[in-house]
Amino acid sequence: MSGVAEQTLRYLDSIRRVFPISMLLPLCLREYGVETYFRDLRDPDFRSRRIFAFHQPNTLNDWIVEEDTVRDRLKELPPLVKPG
């Protein structure tokens, strides 16, 4: 699947050369056979995550208008186990 992920990035790069960056959405869905992957390109360490259903349009819209990515917000959660 890593080759397909790299191919997706090449597609995105070619789209960015044609359209202004302000017109592009930072969320990327990639479908390969029966598997679908999602990534948020705003995340500095973005990676594809397998999803089993498409996100609702309202959910995607909420994520786009958020200043932080979902992974950034998850990092702010308190630890589940107290240290020490």
Residue 37 belongs to some domain of the structure:
yes
Residue 63 belongs to some domain of the structure:
yes
At 33 the pLDDT is 78
Q: pLDDT (tens digit, 9 = 90+) per residue, 18-64? A: 776 655 677 878 777 788 888 888 887 777 888 888 889 898 888 88
Average pLDDT of span 55-80: 84
Residue 83 belongs to some domain of the structure:
no
At 23 the pLDDT is 57
Residue 80 belongs to some domain of the structure:
no
Q: How many domains is the chain built from?
A: 1
At 3 the pLDDT is 59
- Let me know: does 37 contact 2? Beta carbons within 8 Å: no
Residue 20 belongs to some domain of the structure:
yes
Q: Is the pLDDT of residue 6 over 80?
A: no
Structural domain span for residue 6 = 2-75
Q: Encoding tokens for residue 60?
A: 């995607």
